[in-house]
Amino acid sequence: MIRTTPLHERTNALNETQLWSHWSGHLAANRYQMSDKLEYFAVRNAAGIFDSSPLYKYRITGKDAESFLAGVLARDIRACVPGQAQYTCWLDDRGFVIEDGVILHTARNEYLLTSAEANLAYFEDRIGRNDARIEEVSHDIGTLALQGPRSRDLLRKLVPQMGSIPYFGLARGEIGGAAVTVSRTGYTGDLGYEIWMESPDALHVWDALWDSVEGHGVLPFGLAALYMLRIEAGLLLLDADFDSSRYAWNDAHRSSPIELGWSWMFKDLNGDDRAFIGRKALQREIAEKTSRWTMRGLVVDWRDYDRVYGDAGLIPPKDHTPIVEDWMVYDDDYKRVGYATSFMYSPMLQRHIAIARVRPDFAAVGTKVNLEFTVDHHYEQVAAHVARLPLYNPQRKTV
């Protein structure tokens, strides 16, 4: 039997469509009502609630927890003090990305790491002589996200001091009589929070939150809306925009963190004396500039797009449904210079957008490229320009 999340009793009652995905062995709502776009706008214009409990979660404790993590995670965990969260990744020896995730430094010598796939054996096998323990707590902890411009005020109504949590900060408190940890994190690229609680408390927390948001235009949102939001936000998705190097058959399916646009994680690499897995390869790649790709956004030229469809006698489709697929990116001489991995029509930006990787010499913002589509069963190229990720980046996200 497929598992359900600690919030299922509530999400099930709200899911009018009864459309579910299987996410890490759990039922996860695709959408709650007939329109994922409505849920998407709730997040961009008011707030949305999302059950992210299916994420893998690992608790790492012990007096060597930090030094253990400093050796297995690529980003310097020592910069993440208790009460902070960090977006991080872990690499193989050749400097290719295994996975990414958010880690919360919940207390001294205590961390909570999230990941999209199972990583328990991977980390456990690398503890070595460190005085550290890792336990999987995926089922013990329920997670719900409150995301959108109203999220801060709504959270503040429940727990006044939580209105001041900084971007990627944490706070502990009580919601619905239950102890919770709240982090200012999320997967929507908007102002937002994630609430972490013991699974048996999850329904109390949900009920308290749900009652408090009434009348504020808040909707529960499902995976379909989440996938729209994350493309605009330039947040990469495993198995969509990159693959885990652990399971890749060849290097075409591997990516370095630099190629995925995460060079900002290593700004202080020279002053950081850690030995971590993949360090040498990473340093070499940075020094020798051997990155094959640069992660970018593509913004499709709307006039060219309309022209191509118009010439075929078709109404140009402007469908917000994200499509995860390979789209070829060419230069004007029909030479492949990259490929897009996630594509959608963005209602906020009123353009077709994509997450793509392009050759570093085509990565300058504004560079004109051509994105390949099929129109009437043959290939057509439509002009697009290279843009920096995230394509949608409201100030409120970090301020």
Which 148-187 positions form the footprint of another protein (CB under 8 A)? 149-150
Report whether 226 contacts 50 (CB < 8 A). Answer: yes
Helix (H), strand (E) at residue 47: strand 47-51
Query: Per CB under 8 A, does 399 bind another protein?
Result: no
Query: Per CB under 8 A, does 321 bind another protein?
Result: no
What is the nearest approach in angstroms of another protein to the Cβ of residue 227? Answer: 17
**Which residues have CB under 8 Å from 61's CB, separation 6+?**
109, 110, 111, 132, 133, 135
**Region binding another protein by CB under 8 A among candidate stretches 43-51, 115-123, 240-248, 277-285:** 43-51
**Region binding another protein by CB under 8 A among candidate stretches 92-100, 102-110, 196-204, 349-357:** 349-357
User: Residue 350 region, left (φ>0) first, then alpha (ψ -120 to 50), else beta?
Assistant: left
Query: Per CB under 8 A, does 390 bind another protein?
Result: no
Site size toward another protein, by CB under 8 A: 31
**Which stretches of 79-216 are assigned E, i.e. beta strand?**
84-91, 97-107, 110-115, 133-136, 141-147, 170-175, 178-183, 192-198
Q: Which is nearer to another protein, 320 or 357 (CB)?
A: 320
Helix (H), strand (E) at residue 212: helix 202-212
Q: x-or-dash pattern for another protein, window 328-347, by CB under 8 A?
A: -----------------x-x
CB atoms within 10 A of CB 103: 22
Query: Per CB under 8 A, does 311 bind another protein?
Result: no
**Region binding another protein by CB under 8 A among candidate stretches 35-43, 138-146, 168-176, 260-268:** 35-43
Query: Per CB under 8 A, does 393 bind another protein?
Result: no
**Region binding another protein by CB under 8 A among candidate stretches 72-80, 187-195, 302-310, 375-383:** 302-310
Chosen residue from 34, 79, 312, 364 binding another protein by CB under 8 A: 34
Measure the CA–CA gap between 196 and 193, rounded to whole angstroms: 10
Chosen residue from 62, 163, 169, 316 binding another protein by CB under 8 A: 316
**Which residues have CB under 8 Å from 230's CB, separation 6+?**
187, 188, 189, 237
Measure the CA–CA gap between 68 and 74, rounded to whole angstroms: 12
Measure the CA–CA gap between 91 and 284, rounded to whole angstroms: 14
Chosen residue from 319, 325, 326, 332 binding another protein by CB under 8 A: 319
Residue 130 to residues 272, 347, 377, Cα–Cα distance (Å): 20, 49, 58
**Region binding another protein by CB under 8 A among candidate stretches 57-65, 196-204, 283-291, 313-321:** 313-321
Single-letter amino acid, residue 289: K
Q: Which is nearer to another protein, 347 or 360 (CB)?
A: 347
Chosen residue from 348, 375, 388, 393 binding another protein by CB under 8 A: 348
Looking only at the bridges linking them, the beta strands covering 84-91 and 19-23 are unpaired
First to last CA, the chain: 43
What is the nearest approach in angstroms of another protein to the Cβ of residue 299? Answer: 11
Q: x-or-dash pattern for another protein, window 199-218, by CB under 8 A?
A: ---------------xxxx-
The binding site for another protein (CB under 8 A) comprises: 33-35, 37-38, 41, 44-46, 149-150, 214-217, 302-303, 306, 313, 315-320, 345, 347-351
